[in-house]
Amino acid sequence: MTMISAAQTAIKQGLGGIIFTDHYDVDPPKGIVAFDFDPAEQQREIENIKYSFGNFEILKGIEVGIQLKSLAKINRFLDRFSFDTIIASAHFVEGMDPYFGDYYKNRDWREAYGFYLKSIYDCIVQFDNFDVIGHFDYIARYAPYNVRSIKYADFPEIFESIFRLLKERGKALEINTNTYRDKYGKAPELDIEILKRFKKSGGEFVSLSSDAHETGRIGENFGKYTAIIKEAGFDHVTHYKERKPVLTKI
């Protein structure tokens, strides 16, 4: 999609703005292509089109794939540009891509999901150059287990460790509606208990994202998940502008 078509679709969806968060994934596992893009080109294009959209806001973002071995490289890259929003997401774990089957070999669901959550925690202990933790339950989209959803009750310690860091540093937990689409048979469900516990542990910021990749999915299911976020006790959703939280009442 073009930025213009994405922005036009977001307006039709009743959204007040859009953040383009192109992927930056370095050091991919063997046989997997790295995702790279030129932020200068992205930002130039945003500057070119934003004036024709009036009050509708178009922001510059990036989704960086975090891995322990790549953190220094990621920091060097991020230092060269300024973004409104940086999403930190785990796409590769232990040199493997959970999109493919190898990651799940000789692992039961508890091990596979737990290890994924722990890899997020291990990275953010060392890495602070982000605003939002992307799709914490991404792995459940592709996992081959009957247990389809990542639940708070199964991993309370690691969730609390992640919440503590997010709370201390004023960062957001992302609810990514792409995870819950029924495209792989039995889709994972969002465990509302995760949001409730995040709130209870002092978490303030929840970010809502459709991870759209195509115009047809922009803002997908935002109504449904806004209601869930509200039910969990939050009275706003958060996005970041110039790396600072901006709250939208829900």
Q: Per rule CB under 5 A, is residue 149 in the interface with Zn ion?
A: no
Q: Residue with the closest Cβ to Zn ion?
A: 89
Q: Which stretch binds Zn ion (CB under 5 A): 1-9, 10-18, 73-81, 85-93?
A: 85-93
Q: How far is CA 60 from the centre of its chain?
A: 15
Q: Which stretch binds Zn ion (CB under 5 A): 31-39, 84-92, 152-160, 232-240?
A: 84-92
Q: Cβ of residue 90: shortest distance to Zn ion, in angstroms?
A: 8
Q: Which stretch binds Zn ion (CB under 5 A): 81-89, 115-123, 159-167, 194-202?
A: 81-89
**Beta bridge partner(s), residue 19:** 59
Structure tokens at 40: 């200068």
Q: How many CA atoms lie within 13 A of 102 on its CB side?
A: 10
Q: Which is nearer to Zn ion, 138 or 159 (CB)?
A: 138
Q: Cβ of residue 91: shortest distance to Zn ion, in angstroms?
A: 6
Q: Per rule CB under 5 A, is residue 89 in the interface with Zn ion?
A: yes
Q: Cβ of residue 87: shortest distance to Zn ion, in angstroms?
A: 8
- Tell me which amino acid residue 14 is: G
Q: Which is nearer to Zn ion, 36 or 231 (CB)?
A: 36
Q: Which residues of 48-86 are buried (b: 16+ CB within 10 A; e: fewer)?
A: eebeebeeebbbbbbbbbbbeebbeebeebbeeeebbbb
Report how far residue 13's alpha carbon sits from residue 26's, in angstroms, rounded to the nearest whole number.
33
- Per the CB < 8 A criterion, the answer to whether 61 and 87 are in contact is yes
Report how far residue 208's alpha carbon sits from residue 118's, in angstroms, rounded to the nearest whole number.
22
CA distances from 90 to 28, 59, 95, 184, 249 (A): 12, 22, 11, 20, 29
Q: Which is nearer to Zn ion, 55 or 93 (CB)?
A: 93
Q: Which stretch binds Zn ion (CB under 5 A): 82-90, 112-120, 122-130, 242-250?
A: 82-90
Q: Cβ of residue 53: shortest distance to Zn ion, in angstroms?
A: 26
- Per the CB < 8 A criterion, the answer to whether 17 and 56 are in contact is yes
Q: Which is nearer to Zn ion, 92 or 109 (CB)?
A: 92
Q: Cβ of residue 89: shortest distance to Zn ion, in angstroms?
A: 4
Q: Cβ of residue 63: shortest distance to Zn ion, in angstroms?
A: 5
Q: Cβ of residue 16: shortest distance to Zn ion, in angstroms?
A: 23
Report how far residue 86's alpha carbon sits from residue 74's, in angstroms, rounded to the nearest whole number.
11
Q: Which is nearer to Zn ion, 21 or 161 (CB)?
A: 21
Total interface residues for Zn ion by CB under 5 A? 1
Q: Per rule CB under 5 A, is residue 210 in the interface with Zn ion?
A: no
Binding residues for Zn ion (CB under 5 A):
89
